[in-house]
Structure 1
Amino acid sequence: MNVNVGNIDRAIRILLGLGLIVATLAGAIGAWGWLGVIPLATGIFRFCPAYLPFGIRTCAVKK
């Protein structure tokens, strides 16, 4: 599995995912907040399957 998520993208995904999960646990939003697991996982593993068909990479390419 190749890395295709850069550092800034990764930080945003992790913060967004954690924010949604915390808001769900606090009762501020409904059960849809558990979708925060998706950006959290893609941030942790630095791989986004949705980027593959479009050839998007937000990280630096190693030469």
Structure 2
Amino acid sequence: MQANVGSIDRAIRILVGLGLIAATLFGVIGVWGWIGVVPLATGIIGTCPAYLPFGIRTCAAKK
């Protein structure tokens, strides 16, 4: 798959994912925080499957 997540989008996804996972580990929000694995994974990989059907790309266009 081609990358469709830009650098700012990736950084936000990674921070949100880590924050949710950390909140779960410290008992702040319960098991729902494990949903943070999704933004963390898409941020690390650089591809968001939810963007594909809509043709959304937050990364710079390749020349």
Give the TM bin, normalised by the shorter chain: over 0.9
Structure 2 residue aligned with 1:42: 42
Match status 1:9 vs 2:20: no
Q: Supply the RMSD in Å over aligned alpha carbons.
A: 0.3
Deviations 1:24-53 (A, max 9, x none): 000001101000000000000000000001
Structure 1 residue aligned with 2:31: 31
Unaligned runs of 5+ in 2: none
Q: Distance in 2 between matches of 1:53 and 1:45?
A: 18
TM (norm. structure 1) is: 0.98
Q: Distance in 2 between matches of 1:57 and 1:4?
A: 5
Match status 1:58 vs 2:58: yes
Stretches of 4+ moved more than 4 A in 1? none
SS at match of 1:21: helix
Q: How many residues align?
A: 63
TM (norm. structure 2) is: 0.98
